[in-house]
Amino acid sequence: MAKLVAKDPSVAPALLRMHFHDCFVMGCDASVLLNSTKKFKAEKDSAIDATLSGFAEIDQIKTAVEQKCPGVVSCADILAMVARDSVHLNNGPYYKVPLGRRDGTVSLATEAQANLPPHTFNINQLISLFKLKGLDIKDLVVLSGAHTIGQGHCTNFINRLYNFSSTNSIDPSLDPNYAHKLQKECAGPNVNSISVNMDFKTPTKFDINYYKIVKHHKGLFETDAALLDNPITKTYVDYHSSLPRTSSFFKDFAESMVKMGKIEVLTGKQGQIRKICSKVNS
């Protein structure tokens, strides 16, 4: 992982995001890695997963693992561990990842669309979705802190910059000066391929700066801004943006990641240990 991230720093946030997308859809079973077949369109080919990346890197890691421990380490466990390493390699916490997950054999684009939160979700919708996954309000605001590294595609927040509503051209929950800056960054005919840093101050460092950005109404997505619309999530944002409380956030993040990594896992004789992460064993 260290070599992959050193070669391309964008790999770290990509793999962290992939773990989240995997766990929220049919559990942490590496179904997000499966390719589509003639019968079924896979998660990775759904509209909501269109911007996922890092699949080639997972294949490299799996190949190396199989050479040393054939048939032992699941793709689901690999995803959980590389998510942890992605955080740690960007100055974030290192935590122990419970292992023993097995890989699923089904991947459906429809499940991804139904289970992943769009960037337009409000706070009540987010809380309800997280609750369905066994996660609470604190997990929601803590895991949102993953937006401290990586980039967001303009297409996922451009609705906040133009014709937001019948009464507001720009989303009123977004700082107007920052909105104008984003309009310039997302300008041009190739907006579909433009990305901007989610944390514009320390984009490659896993820290608490995300909460400072959200507090000042400069979070990229509506889901970021939504954290200010609930007293519990707002209190967490305020607490971690007023003073340098990095150790508190790191402890919370590690706990919430371990908790998320246990969503609907397959164990024992369930599923399989895939030889190649992108296809089911024959």
Q: Which helix (H) or strand (E) holds 110?
A: helix 109-115
| Contact present, 207 and 148 (Cβ < 8 Å) | yes
Q: What DSSP state is assigned to residue 206?
A: -
- List, by residue number, the catalytic residues: 21
Under the phi-then-psi rule, with left for phi > 0, alpha for psi from -120 to 50, and beta for the rest, what region is 168?
Answer: beta
* Angle at CA of residue 33, ends 254 and 186, nearest 5°: 75
CA distance 220 to 160: 9
Under the phi-then-psi rule, with left for phi > 0, alpha for psi from -120 to 50, and beta for the rest, what region is 8?
Answer: beta
Q: By three-state DSSP, how is residue 147 classified?
A: helix
| Contact present, 40 and 112 (Cβ < 8 Å) | no
